Amino acid sequence: MGAVLPLLLPLLLPPWAAGGAAVCGRCPGPVRNGSIVAQYCASQAGTESEGRCCRERGARPERLLGLDLSDCSLHSLPPGLAEAAAIVILDLTENPLTPLPNGSFLGFTHLQHLMVPLALECPGGSNAWENVTMHGKSWLCQGQRNPCNSSGELAWLCPENAACAPDGPGLVQCLCDSPFHGYKCLREGTFPMLLFCGILGAITLSLSLLLWGTQRRKAKTP
């Protein structure tokens, strides 16, 4: 047991404590000169780069701002991409990417500039973005639209007692208004303790009655 803990420790620690996000080292070299990520990060004060990432200098916990995964022979998105969910800018150009599963950018609510190869479309479709423009062999998807905006085309109906909140390009989540919770936000109260105890009590009572009944019948028969 004593020998197992030191081995598990790196898995339990958050990525910044273990020395940077693994996704920054996924592709070789630094942020490519000329990528939209290099331009963006050069324009922001107080940024530093680590591998293919640029981040806020000295921020703890680490806050990634940009990720350049261009020209990296990617056929699909790297598995650790969720680490970078806070990024503002992402470059996926010059990769033989196949169409991305919808929901690939779940939680990427800050993403405002995304460059993808022409073979792909902007995630969530062009309606999920304010501007979609062609730049050479890439699409530049800029400015996430709020899909909760009911006057837009992506109007989304959350159940009653719930508020719609953006959750990435073309993606939404429904947040239950307190005190509602559970499936479709139909439950009310902090925890259905009363219901839980009531059901448990009813089961106990019926079992007791059943046992009492059967035992009594047994006792009567000679």
Ligand X SMILES: *[C@@H]1O[C@H](CO)[C@@H](O)[C@H](O)[C@H]1NC(C)=O
Residues that bind ligand X (CB under 6 A): 33-34, 102, 130-131, 142-143, 146, 149, 151-152
Query: 174 by DSSP, 3-state: which?
Result: strand
Cβ at position 140, least distance to ligand X in Å: 9
Which of 33, 221 has the CB closer to ligand X?
Answer: 33
CA gap 33, 167 in Å, rounded: 31
If the CB atoms of residues 20 and 125 are measured against ligand X, the closer one turns out to be 125
CB of 159 vs ligand X, minimal distance in Å:
17
Q: Which residue is nearest to ligand X (CB)?
A: 143
Q: How far is CA 110 from the centre of its chain?
A: 11
The least distance separating ligand X from the CB of residue 212, rounded to whole angstroms, comes to: 53
Q: Identify whether the C-beta of residue 67 lies closer than 8 Å to the C-beta of residue 52.
A: yes
Output the smallest distance, CB 114 to ligand X, in A. 11
> Alpha-carbon distance 56 to 64, whole Å?
7
Closest to ligand X by CB, 81 vs 111, is 111
Count the Cβ atoms, other than its own, within 10 Å of residue 185.
19
- Cβ proximity of 84 and 67 under 8 Å: yes
Give the nearest distance from C-beta 31 to ligand X in angstroms: 10
> What is d(CA 70, CA 116) in angstroms, rounded to the nearest whole number?
9
Of 81 and 147, which has the nearer Cβ to ligand X?
147
**With respect to ligand X, which residue has the nearer C-beta, 131 or 208?**
131
